[in-house]
Chains A and B, each alone.
Chain A
Amino acid sequence: AQSVTQPDIHITVSEGASLELRCNYSYGATPYLFWYVQSPGQGLQLLLKYFSGDTLVQGIKGFEAEFKRSQSSFNLRKPSVHWSDAAEYFCAVGTNSGYALNFGKGTSLLVTP
């Protein structure tokens, strides 16, 4: 069964600084990978997804992620963080034979002035 690990529970960055959120997955074949963002008390919004092809994926709000098969990773990056990026970020993995997604436990991002 596939699984997802987000090693960082909390991350604090200064506004304008770069950001990288880590995600590691466990799955034998090529997975479907997702990053979602959640503001407090809200549902989840899809930032970006990887199914196949180019391993560098561009998403909304200036985010990107890179799929690295050798490292079983799908880290999320943003070159310059805005205060509005403060939220909870979830990495998720799915497969082409299954219907459900497995979610990581999330990383809470705090942005300081």
Chain B
Amino acid sequence: DGGITQSPKYLFRKEGQNVTLSCEQNLNHDAMYWYRQDPGQGLRLIYYSQIVNDFQKGDIAEGYSVSREKKESFPLTVTSAQKNPTAFYLCASRPGQGNNEQFFGPGTRLTVL
């Protein structure tokens, strides 16, 4: 089945630790995205990547880092510099130019203790 997988579903970390969230897609999509979701805030864009080895900051990139070494994978690292990392993180992908529809993964809930 084609789709987007995110792992793990739930993640707990101690304050001050870096943590990496996984996102994999087998849809052969060019673009991939990371969003953060907080109650009542909707989705806010953290980073996005249009092609391999290239990515751009979104609206709330501070305290996060990404890489795009393979078309299928777009991992997100939440660093200790992120002031309030506890949130629901959603990964999405998009086929390419001319089609704005984004397909979403099931999300990862990160809780920093």
Interface string of B71-113 (1 = CB under 8 A from A): 0000000000000000010101010001011111111010000
Asked whether A104 and B42 contact (CB < 8 A) given A41-B109, A42-B107, A43-B90, the answer is yes
Interface residue from B35, B41, B94, B103 paired with A105 (Cβ < 8 Å): B41
Please report whether the interface of chain B is mostly helix, strand, loop or mixed according to DSSP. strand
Size bracket, chain B contacts: 20 to 34
A25 at the B interface (CB under 8 A): no
In the complex, what residues of B have CB within 8 A of residue A42's CB?
106-107
Q: Closest CB-CB distance, A12 to chain B, in whole Å?
A: 17
Main secondary structure of the interface of A (DSSP, over half): loop
Residue B40 at the A interface, CB < 8 A? yes
CB within 8 Å of B: which A36-61 residues: 36, 41-46, 49, 51
B107 touches A43 (CB 8 A): yes
* CB nearest neighbor in A for B88: A41
- Alpha-carbon distance A24/B83, docked complex (angstroms): 32
Q: B60: CB under 8 A from chain A?
A: no
List 6 A-B pairs, Cβ < 8 Å: A9-B40, A32-B100, A43-B104, A43-B107, A95-B100, A103-B35
Residues on A close to B: CB < 8 A?
A: 9, 32, 34, 36, 41-46, 49, 51, 90, 94-96, 99-101, 103-106
